[in-house]
Structure 1
Amino acid sequence: MTRTSETTPEINLSDPQYYFNRELSWLEFNNRVLHEALDPRTPLLERLKFLAIFSTNLDEFFMVRVAILMQRVEAQVDKVSPDGKTPQQQLDALSQQLRPLVTEQHRFFDRTLRPLLAEKGVHILNYMDLNQEQRRYLQHYFEQRVFPILTPLAVDPAHPFPYISSLSLNLAVLVKDPVTQKELFARVKVPNSLPRFITFPADIEPVDRNSVWVGVPLEQIIAHNLELLFPGMNIQEYSLFRITRDADLEIEEDLTHDLLVLIQQELRKRRLGGAVVRLEIEASASQAVRDRLMREKDLTDRDVYALEGLLNLKDLMSLMAIPLPALKDQPWGAAVPSRLRNLNDDTSDLASSAEANEDIFSIIRKQDLLVHHPYESFTASVEHFITQAAHDPKVLAIKITLYRTSGDSPIVKALINAAENGKQVAALVELKARFDEENNIHWAQRLEQAGVNVIYGLVGLKTHTKVVLVVREEGEAIRRYIHIGTGNYNSKTAKLYTDLGLFSCKEDLGADLTDLFNFLTGYSRQQSYRKLLVAPVNLRDRMLALIQRETEYRHHGKPGHIIAKMNALVDPQIIATLYAASQAGVEIDLIIRGVCCLRPGVAGVSDNIRVISIVGRFLEHSRIFHFHNNGEEEVFIGSADWMPRNLDRRVEAITPVEEPALAAQLCAILDTLLADNRHAWDLQPDGTYVQRQSGENMPEHDAQTEFAMQLQQ
């Protein structure tokens, strides 16, 4: 903390007024995602995609963040967040701010996107809109394909209320027995083994001449054939509903010696379902049905979202498969990094190519290599590096951390090949990667069966770092090649997320990664690293010191400037240190895609801090940290955001990028992002975001498009 003058009282930088609430800031982020759907500049089918992403994001938010707050309220934990809110106050504020967003999402889909899609020949029809021929077809479809799957479940003294799985679509049905005149309640689950939208064959009369795709929601087909499920009963009412359950795993690692068994047990509990944290229901549902569901699931009005139109809009993502390229983002191919364009892609001939000095290792020996995904090919760089290492006879060992990987991962296959080729292979597979636990268990067991040394994470820590170490015999020496990245070793997300990776064979980085892997796989209390910033060892202290160094330069009349790009900024200590730097006159530019708890532009506190968020075609996932350092600039990339979990409860690695040309490349990336006026939003002192606009005197700068164009040349 600093004093602005001898007469000005010291400002308490921990005061809650200087912090935004983490959960409410996340809602602002998801609002920016929704805006991509609302924006007419976004291609039509891509607008559907963003509606689906908005819904998927919300599901995970309720399953984890809202669930945690509800647990704290139930446990009567009144500890306030840095912005001064109790768990109950946060839940109330979330409900108040979220409802208008969800209402806007559903209204926009039904009143704007549906008609626009129909104009392009894409018809999402309601059952009531169908002609007789279409209805006959769907009735036949129901009888042949749907009816045998369904299991109507009665609720009465002999049949307790059935278990409702999280995120499933269900019909609440009220029927009247014509004999007893009793009104009875039943539940019908909409099967997720069938497509959400049922389409018509080519010989069914099209809606219009331009019809490309015509579909009807499956739940409406079921609803209009309920008499077959309840013969002899009078259908009084039906309403679609969906519940969301707590999905956070409660992992008490100190109580078991086998983390794999513990995670498997917790996954079984998740499938059985935690407490219900949200009920979504059709707005047309009667109060009696709504009250019945709330009573059975122990919910309050705050937990209920009554929605117009379709529920579960994340299923709109399936419509991206409709063959209308004019309604989607223009396709493009990731460029092969220029220095890798002459590599031999035939892994069966890697031994001879190595002798010819035409392999990726010779490229790295000449100079460090920086790759920028998805603009540069993940396959031609990262996957090639690991695959070549698996087959190269000179490679002795491969070590890797896997946080999230794709189901058909070429990297996992390469690791298996490496083990089969007699190399020492070690893979730390993080079983606690949320929502990827089951997938990671599968791949960990496959690797173990192939002879790979598999480590199932660390007790008390998630291993979030993205690093590869390749040990290669070259003549009489051993050389270590490394890759340190900002993103997961996942070929699918590498096409959708912006990430960076550094290849190097510098001795100090190789030695640091050796020490890091020894910490991950054995017994080590390594407390110092030559170059790497490693959490939870030295990352927090080093980041604080780098910020404070800029502050000291300003105190001595020298310039100070920080540019940092990350997914989220939450940590109160980092924020307070940034405030102190701003008070000293350090210029601070932050590019924070998601949650930002720092309040910029506050007089006397954060006058010199600017925050932007970029939400566009690709998910901004890379982390870059730039410090002016009195003209001796230092630039870092790595896996960590400035959040308590990354700094204190995860294993993370951030590396300096010291090659002048590569450091300049990173600075150019930051400059391009800061100049964006197509997908960039400026965070205001009140917590709202204002989207930047291009104009007559301000030509449009779309950073993501510019990166793609630069690397295609």
Structure 2
Amino acid sequence: MEGVYLNRELSWLAFNGRVLEEAEREDVPLCERLNFLAIYQRNLDEFFMVRVGSLVDQDMLSQSIRENKTHMTARAQIRAVLAQVRALDQRKTAVYQTLMECLGNEGVGLVDFRRLEREKREALETYFDTEIAVLLSPIIVGKRQPFPFLRGGEIYAVGVLAGKNGKEKLGIIPCGSGVFPRLIPVAARQYMLSEELILHFLPKVFKGYRVKAKSLLRMTRNADIDADALYDEDLDYREFMAELVKRRRRLAPVRLELSRQLEDGIVRLLCRYTGAEPQFVFGGGTPLDLSFLLRMQDALRQRPELFYERFVPQRPPQFQSGLPILEQIRERDRLLAYPYESMKPFLAMLQEAAGDERVISIKMTLYRMARQSKVVEALIEAAENGKEVFVLVELKARFDEENNIEWSRRLEDAGCQVMYGLDGYKVHSKLCLITRRGEEQVEYYTQIGTGNYNEKTARLYTDLSLMTADPEIGLNAAAVFQALALGETLEDSPVLMVAPRCLQNQVLARIDEEIAHARRGESAYIGLKLNSLTDKTIMERLIEASQAGVSIDMVVRGICCLRPGVPGATEHLRVISIVGRFLEHSRMYLFGTGERRQIYISSADFMTRNTLRRVEVAAPIRDADLKRRLTAMFDTMLRDNQQARQLRADGTYCLVQNQGPPFNSQEFFCRQAQEAAVAPVLEITGGAGHKMG
């Protein structure tokens, strides 16, 4: 249906605009605004590396290919993307200047060398001469010195140099050696960026030349490599992926950022040397890398009012300390909600299984892991204790390949059976299966999550983790691992939804059930909590459901390619996006009302890459209390009128406005977890308590 879809890339940029909006908001603590600004830039860097890089590749292959929703060609999408990025960057520059003024009011800031008093200028010059200049590797581009390769994401000082003979040359200095600090202290809580100091003293480096113009430069390179298309079966896959990571660093540029304005001829020359196209050149109104803002926060740690109130993941009340975790799971299903509740019970389950003589095997899929992973340490301990440990480590987890390669080596060295994924499919599921000898039969303990087995992100991302001893779920999970071990995917999955063959079709079947109820005049409902919605097949069925009168609520943090409120198409569909202190990452699917409601938690967004090109798992929530809890959580997010933005039919977002009092769902979940964690103690001492439902 024409006019009901939004372009994926522009929808993502709108999401990053919502991140930038958090940096603009005066009701957000100052240091958290700095954090959001740095996240905005980091997000945009990755967007250019992956999505813009992909569009450039598409445009080179064919100028007639159109995406299937708004029918835009790759070239049209690139033009629209670049225009929107330039508009967003104007906002970025404005908010950066505002935040630096606010930091200045707190006595923290960056200095301008030219405005410093003489003693400080002399001290900085001495520092440059003794600590920095000796470590620099300047290059003058000429016949005997070709233009150097510029690493993606690094900062370079570039000077237009005039020699004694009047001829112009380019001088280039890499500024990111890592040996000297980027933030150079000038006075108490006053700093200068090292690249700005290098740029200032360019004439001292290029002696004998007059510096006619200068700027800092930063390159973003395409990182979109199709590993499966390039893989040679005669190669060791892990070594192939390590080589692929190296190759990515040399891919074509998709953005060239300059800190100062240079003459058009110089810009064209830089484009010719680097291979960048002029349309991808951006002039910066801010430092080219904003990660230093996170370091500047450290100077204000003694001011807690400038940060969000500190929150520590709480002890989950559904687990009783001192009792075996596996026995508690066998009693009834348990659910953890990160980061409000601690990941410790899951880690304790793995550690307990590693040392339990009755545990036969542990099987897991690993996608992104912490640098110091307690999960991997538990698996290594289990293998060293003689248990069968099967681990599928997905080496194609973009930008985490090197970390995953290293962990895969350690797991293998410990005696674990390690796989590196499937041909043609990325394994993105969050699945763990512990098999144990019971008194009468084999017991299965299954964990299905919405987020990675990563202790760091479990404190920053909202995710759900189901732990169950349900034998049907265990047998289905065992079938998933058996298929993976054989390099295959499941053709049929009776309990779990398992992509690529048994998820999209099951979701469509659940939507069809709601359509049937609505057409009979019965109550019908669909609730979806996702990171992204781009799967056109599912969206077409959601349109049909809305047309039939099914009430549809969606909490979609990022990309949403479906317009709500379009007459005759999506009138019964509502979409909100929540952007707050925690990254909304959990996925929930709710179908039906009352007693017939079905709820699933999943690793899969409704994107074609998830539903048809990855191994993903969605698990049904069968415990009545847990279903009520998840329903309450979803309804709570729908009440948010502080961090939630509503998607309008014209494709724009606005802050949610309703008749209720100010309500922040993430703050509510923090308070709820804190109250639930102390409730048992309060009951023992006679105080009042509130248990989480």
TM interval, shorter chain, is: over 0.9
Aligned partner letter, 1:361: L
Q: Distance in 1 between matches of 2:650 and 2:489?
A: 44
Deviation at 1:277, TM superposition (A): 0.6
TM-score, length-scaled by structure 1: 0.92
Aligned with residue 254 of structure 2, among 273, 277, 281: 277
Name the TM-score, length of structure 2 as normaliser.
0.94
Residue 189 of structure 1 pairs with residue 174 of structure 2? yes
| 2:306 aligned residue (327, 331, 341) | 327
Q: Distance in 2 between matches of 1:700 and 1:310?
A: 36
Q: Structure 2 residue aligned with 1:260, among 238, 251, 257?
A: 238
CA contact (8 A) 1:335 1:712 kept: yes
Deviations 1:433-480 (A, max 9, x none): 011111100100111111111111111000000011111123343211
Question: 1:155 matched to which residue of 2?
Answer: 141
- Which residue number in structure 2 is paired with residue 217 of structure 1? 193
Kindly provide the amino acid, as one letter, of the partner of residue 706 in structure 1.
F
Residue 144 of structure 1, CA deviation = 2.4
Question: How far 1:141 moved relative to its partner?
Answer: 2.0
Shift in CA distance, 294/701, structure 1 to aligned 2, threshold 3 Å = same
Judge conservation of contact 1:253–1:259 (CA < 8 Å) in 2. Answer: no
Stretch of structure 1 that moved more, 141-150 or 161-170: 141-150
CA contact (8 A) 1:149 1:191 kept: no
SS in 1 for 2:662: coil
**Contact 1:387-1:414 within 8 A present in 2 as well:** yes
Work out the CA distance in 1 between the residues paired with 2:673 and 2:327: 23
Q: Displacement, 1:254?
A: 5.8
Tell me what 2:660 maps to.
698
Give the match for residue 298 of structure 1. Answer: 275
Question: Counterpart of 1:18 in 2: which secondary structure?
Answer: coil
Equivalent position amino acid for 1:512 in 2: N
Relative to structure 2, which stretch is displaced further, 168-177 or 524-533?
A: 524-533
1:7 alignment counterpart: none
- Does the residue aligned with 1:577 lie in a helix, a strand or coil? helix
The AA in structure 1 aligned to 2:85 is L
Say if 2:507 is the partner of 1:543: yes
**Residues 271-318 of structure 1, C-alpha deviation per residue, up to 9 Å, x if partnerless?**
3x1011111112432333222112223333321111223222233233
How far apart are residue 525 of structure 1 and its match? Answer: 5.5
C-alpha distance in 2 between matches for 1:72 and 1:524: 30
**Counterpart Cα distance in 1 of 2:280 and 2:509:** 44
SS at match of 1:313: coil
Pick from 217, 221, 233: which aligns with 1:245?
221
For residue 607 of structure 2, the aligned residue among 614, 629, 643 is: 643
Which SS does the other structure have where 2:392 is aligned? Answer: strand
Cα deviation, residue 588, structure 1 = 0.3
C-alpha distance in 1 between matches for 2:487 and 2:544 = 39
Paired with 1:299 and 1:37, the residues of 2 have a C-alpha distance of 30
Is 1:165 the counterpart of 2:151? The answer is yes
* TM-aligned CA deviation for residue 609 of structure 1: 0.4
Whether 2:332 is the aligned partner of 1:364: answer no
Q: Which residue of structure 2 lines up, in the alignment, with residue 146 of structure 1?
A: 132
1:340 to 316, 319, 324: 319
C-alpha change, 1:367 and 1:189, in structure 2 (3 Å) is same
Secondary structure, counterpart of 2:411 in structure 1 = helix
In the alignment, which residue of structure 2 is the partner of 1:711? Answer: 673
1:688 aligns with 2:652: yes
Identity %, equivalent residues: 38
In the aligned structure 1, how far is the partner of 2:82 from the partner of 2:612?
30
Which residue of 527, 530, 534 corresponds with 2:491?
A: 527
Shift of 1:18: 1.6
404-413 or 73-82, which deviates more: 73-82
Q: Deviations over 1:680-705 (max 9, x none)?
A: 000011110001247xx631110000
Query: How far off is 1:328 after superposition?
Result: 1.0
Runs of 4+ in 1 over 3 A off after TM superposition: 194-197, 298-301, 523-526
User: Does structure 2 retain, via aligned residues, the 8 Å contact 1:549–1:629?
Assistant: no
- State the 1:523 CA deviation: 5.1
Match of 2:214, as an amino acid? Y
* Aligned-pair Cα RMSD in Å: 1.6
Give the Cα–Cα distance (whole angstroms) in 2 for the partners of residues 104 and 557 of structure 1.
Answer: 48
Counterparts of 1:525 and 1:489 in 2: how far apart (Å)? 22
The answer to whether the Cα contact below 8 Å between 2:132 and 2:180 also exists between their aligned partners in 1 is no
Q: Structure 1 stretches of 5 or more lacking a match?
A: 1-12, 344-357
Q: Which residue of 2 aligns with 1:88?
A: 75
Deviation per residue, 1:487-539 (Å, 9 max, x gap):
00000011110000100001001101110001111255532223100001210
| Length, aligned pairs only | 670
Q: Please give the alpha-carbon distance, in whole angstroms, between the structure 1 residues aligned to 2:230 and 2:576.
A: 38
What secondary structure is seen at the aligned counterpart in 1 of 2:37?
helix
Q: Which residue is equivalent to 2:688?
A: none
- Once residues 564 and 144 of structure 1 are traced to their aligned partners in structure 2, the CA distance between those partners, rounded to angstroms, is 59
Contact in 2 for aligned 1:613/1:680 (Cα 8 Å): yes
Deviations 1:368-390 (A, max 9, x none): 00110000001x22211112211
Alignment pair present for 1:389 and 2:334: no
Structure 1 pair 94–494 and aligned structure 2 pair: CA distance change class (3 A)? same
Deviation sequence 1:547-585 (CA, Å, 0-9, x none): 111001111111111010010000111000000000000
Deviations 1:310-334 (A, max 9, x none): 2222332333333243211111211
Aligned residues of 1:374 and 1:494 also touching (Cα < 8 A): yes
Matching residue's letter, 2:204: L
Counterparts of 1:440 and 1:135 in 2: how far apart (Å)? 46
Task: Give the distance between the partners of 1:524 and 1:132, measured in 2 at CA.
Answer: 70
Question: Aligned residue for 1:355?
Answer: none
Tell me the SS of whatever aligns to 2:215: strand
Conserved in 1, the CA contact under 8 Å of 2:534 and 2:560?
A: yes
Pair 1:667 & 2:653 matched: no
Whole-angstrom CA distance in 1 between matches of 2:155 and 2:327: 55
1:590 aligns with 2:554: yes
1:665-687: CA deviation from partner (whole Å, max 9, x where unpaired): 00000000000001000001111
Q: Is the 8 A contact 1:174 1:236 kept in 2?
A: yes
Q: Which of residues 19, 27, 44 in structure 2 aligns to 1:58? A: 44
The one of 188, 199, 202 aligned to 1:226: 202
Q: Is the 8 A contact 1:168 1:192 kept in 2?
A: no
Following superposition of structure 1 onto structure 2, how do residues 230-629 of structure 1 map, counting pairs within 5 Å? Answer: 230-251=206-227, 252=229, 255-257=232-234, 258-271=236-249, 273-322=250-299, 323=301, 324-343=303-322, 358-378=323-343, 380-522=344-486, 524=488, 526-628=490-592
The Cα shift of 1:259 comes to 2.2
Per-residue deviation, 1:194: 4.4
Q: CA deviation at 1:192?
A: 4.3
Tell me the distance in 2 between the aligned counterparts of 1:506 and 1:463: 23
Contact 1:253 1:460 (8 Å CA) reproduced: no
Write the distance in 1 (CA, Å) between the matches of 2:125 and 2:94: 29
Matched residue SS, 1:362: helix
Aligned residue identity for 2:475? A
- Provide the rounded CA distance (Å) in 1 between the counterparts of 2:548 and 2:326: 46
Letter in 1 for 2:291: K
Separation in 1 of the partners of 2:538 and 2:487?
A: 30
Quick one: distance in 1 between partners of 2:663 and 2:130? 54
| Aligned pairs (5 A) from 1:19-38 | 19-38=5-24
* Alpha-carbon contact 1:172-1:289 (below 8 Å) kept: no
| Letter of the 1:147 counterpart | A
Superposition deviation, residue 339 in structure 1: 2.4
The 10-residue stretch of structure 1 (284-293 or 248-257) with the greater mean CA deviation from structure 2: 248-257
CA contact (8 A) 1:601 1:610 kept: yes
Is the contact made by 1:404 and 1:488 (CA closer than 8 Å) also made in structure 2? yes
Q: Give the letter aligned to residue 670 of structure 2.
A: A
Query: Given the alignment, which residue of 73, 85, 107 partners 1:98?
Result: 85
The 8 Å contact of residues 171 and 187 in structure 1, kept in 2 or not, is answered as yes
